[in-house]
A and B are shown apart, each in its own frame.
Chain A
Amino acid sequence: MKLSKGYRIFQVFNLLFMLIIIAIMLYPFWYLVAQSFSSQKYIYMGEVSILPKGFNVQTYKAVMSERQFWIGYKNTLIYTALGTFINVAMTAMFAYPLSKKRLIGQKFWIKFAVFTMYFSGGLIPNYLLVNSLHMKNTIWAIVIPGAISTFNLMIMKNSFEAIPQELEEAASIDGMNTYGIFFKIIIPLSVPIIATMILFYAVGNWNSWFSAMLYLDEKKLQPVSLYLRGLIAGATQTSDSVTMSSDAQAQIASNIKSTTMVLTVLPIICVYPFLQKYFVSGIMIGAVKG
Chain B
Amino acid sequence: MANSFKQIKRQNNFLIRIKKDWQLYTFLLLPVLYFIIFKYGPMVGNIIAFRKFQPGGSPFGEKWVGLKYFKMFIADSNFWRIFLNTLTLSVQTLIFTFPGPVIFALLLNELKNVAFKRVVQTISYLPHFISTVILVGLIFELTAANGPINHLISVLGGEPVKFMQDPKYFHSVYVLSRMWQTLGWGTIVYLSALTTISPDLYEAAKIDGANRWQQTLHVTLPGISSTIIVLLIMNIGSMLSVSFEQILLMYSPLTYQKADVISTYVYRIGLSQNSFSYASAIGLFESVIGLVLVTTANSISKKITDSSLW
User: Taking beta carbons and an 8 Å cutoff, which residues of A are in contact with B?
Assistant: 4, 6-7, 10-11, 14-15, 17-18, 21-22, 24-26, 28-29, 31-32, 35, 43-46, 48-49, 90, 93-94, 96-97, 100, 102-104, 109, 111-114, 116, 118-129, 131-132, 144-145, 147-148, 177-179, 182, 203, 206-210, 214, 225, 228-229, 232-233, 254, 257-258, 261, 264-265, 268-269, 272-273, 276, 279-280, 283-284, 287, 289
Q: How far is the CA of A179 from the CA of B295 in the complex (A)?
A: 38
Please tell me which one of the listed residues B107, B189, B291 contacts residue A18 in the complex, with CB atoms under 8 A apart.
B107
Interface range, B side: 35 or more
Q: What are 14 A-B residue pairs whose CB atoms fall within 8 Å in the complex?
A: A7-B213, A11-B110, A21-B104, A90-B30, A111-B310, A114-B310, A118-B295, A119-B291, A122-B287, A207-B132, A207-B133, A208-B131, A214-B271, A268-B129
With both chains docked as a complex, state the minimum distance between the C-beta of A79 and any C-beta of chain B, in angstroms: 13
Q: Are B245 and A124 in contact (CB under 8 A)?
A: no
Q: Are A21 and B120 in contact (CB under 8 A)?
A: yes
Chain A residues near B31 (CB, 8 Å)?
Answer: 90, 93-94, 148
Q: Are B130 and A127 in contact (CB under 8 A)?
A: no
Q: Are B125 and A276 in contact (CB under 8 A)?
A: yes
Q: Are B280 and A124 in contact (CB under 8 A)?
A: yes
Q: Is B146 an interface residue (CB 8 A)?
A: yes
Q: Are B123 and A22 in contact (CB under 8 A)?
A: yes
With both chains docked as a complex, state the minimum distance between the C-beta of A248 and any C-beta of chain B, in angstroms: 14
Q: How far is the CA of A163 from the CA of B259 in the complex (A)?
A: 48
Cβ-closest chain A residue relative to B293: A118
Q: Are B27 and A121 in contact (CB under 8 A)?
A: no
Please tell me which one of the listed residues A45, A179, A268 contacts residue B130 in the complex, with CB atoms under 8 A apart.
A268
Q: Are A287 and B283 in contact (CB under 8 A)?
A: no
With a 10 A CB-CB cut-off, give which of B17, B43, B180, B276 has the most chain A CB atoms.
B43
Q: Are B122 and A273 in contact (CB under 8 A)?
A: yes
Q: How far is the CA of A35 from the CA of B309 in the complex (A)?
A: 46
Interface string of B120-151 (1 = CB under 8 A from A): 10111111011111101110111011111011
Cβ-closest chain A residue relative to B108: A18
Q: Are A10 and B23 in contact (CB under 8 A)?
A: no
Question: Across the A-B interface, how many residue pairs have beta carbons closer than 8 Å?
Answer: 245
Interface string of B15-34 (1 = CB under 8 A from A): 00110010111011011101
Chain B residues near A206 (CB, 8 Å)?
Answer: 131
With both chains docked as a complex, state the minimum distance between the C-beta of B235 and any C-beta of chain A, in angstroms: 14
Q: How far is the CA of A104 from the CA of B25 in the complex (A)?
A: 9
Q: Are A32 and B141 in contact (CB under 8 A)?
A: yes
Q: Is the interface of A mostly helix, strand, loop or mixed?
A: helix
Q: Are B43 and A125 in contact (CB under 8 A)?
A: yes
Chain A residues near B27 (CB, 8 Å)?
Answer: 93-94, 96-97, 178, 182
Q: Are A46 and B150 in contact (CB under 8 A)?
A: yes
With both chains docked as a complex, state the minimum distance between the C-beta of B207 and any C-beta of chain A, in angstroms: 13
Q: How far is the CA of A119 from the CA of B286 in the complex (A)?
A: 10
Q: Is B46 an interface residue (CB 8 A)?
A: yes
Q: How far is the CA of A252 from the CA of B56 in the complex (A)?
A: 43
Q: Are A10 and B137 in contact (CB under 8 A)?
A: no
With a 10 A CB-CB cut-off, give which of A123, A148, A284 has the most chain B CB atoms.
A123
Q: Is B80 an interface residue (CB 8 A)?
A: no
With both chains docked as a complex, state the minimum distance between the C-beta of B38 and any C-beta of chain A, in angstroms: 5
Chain A residues near B189 (CB, 8 Å)?
Answer: 283, 287
A-B contact sample (16 more), CB < 8 A, given A28-B141, A120-B287, A182-B27: A6-B211, A7-B212, A21-B183, A25-B127, A31-B148, A102-B24, A118-B294, A119-B290, A123-B267, A124-B276, A128-B59, A207-B134, A209-B133, A261-B137, A264-B131, A287-B192
Q: How far is the CA of A14 from the CA of B108 in the complex (A)?
A: 8
Q: Is B254 an interface residue (CB 8 A)?
A: no
Known: A46-B146, A104-B17, A147-B34. A121 touches B125 (CB 8 A): no
Q: How far is the CA of A126 from the CA of B182 in the complex (A)?
A: 28
User: Taking beta carbons and an 8 Å cutoff, which residues of B are in contact with A?
Assistant: 14, 17-18, 21, 23-25, 27-28, 30-32, 34-35, 37-46, 48, 53, 59, 104, 107-108, 110-112, 116, 119-120, 122-127, 129-134, 136-138, 140-142, 144-148, 150-152, 180, 183-184, 188-189, 192, 211-213, 245, 248-249, 263, 266-267, 270-271, 276, 279-280, 283-284, 286-287, 290-291, 294-295, 307, 309-310
Chain A residues near B30 (CB, 8 Å)?
Answer: 90, 93
Q: How far is the CA of A173 from the CA of B25 in the complex (A)?
A: 20
Q: Are B249 and A229 in contact (CB under 8 A)?
A: yes
Cβ-closest chain B residue relative to A91: B31
Q: Are B138 and A28 in contact (CB under 8 A)?
A: yes
Q: How far is the CA of A6 from the CA of B32 in the complex (A)?
A: 60
Cβ-closest chain B residue relative to A1: B206
Q: Are A178 and B21 in contact (CB under 8 A)?
A: yes
With both chains docked as a complex, state the minimum distance between the C-beta of A228 and any C-beta of chain B, in angstroms: 5
Q: How far is the CA of A145 from the CA of B59 in the complex (A)?
A: 16
Please tell me which one of the listed residues A6, A114, A225, A279 contacts residue B131 in the complex, with CB atoms under 8 A apart.
A225
Q: Are A258 and B141 in contact (CB under 8 A)?
A: yes
Q: Are B110 and A102 in contact (CB under 8 A)?
A: no
Cβ-closest chain A residue relative to B42: A121
Please tell me which one of the listed residues A32, A112, A119, A228 contacts residue B287 in the complex, with CB atoms under 8 A apart.
A119
Please tell me which one of the listed residues B37, B142, B152 contacts residue A31 in the complex, with CB atoms under 8 A apart.
B142
Q: Are B28 and A269 in contact (CB under 8 A)?
A: no
With both chains docked as a complex, state the minimum distance between the C-beta of B191 and any C-beta of chain A, in angstroms: 9
Q: Are B116 and A18 in contact (CB under 8 A)?
A: yes
Please tell me which one of the listed residues B34, B137, B307 contacts residue A257 in the complex, with CB atoms under 8 A apart.
B137
Chain A residues near B286 (CB, 8 Å)?
Answer: 122
Please tell me which one of the listed residues B14, B35, B43 contacts residue A119 in the complex, with CB atoms under 8 A apart.
B43
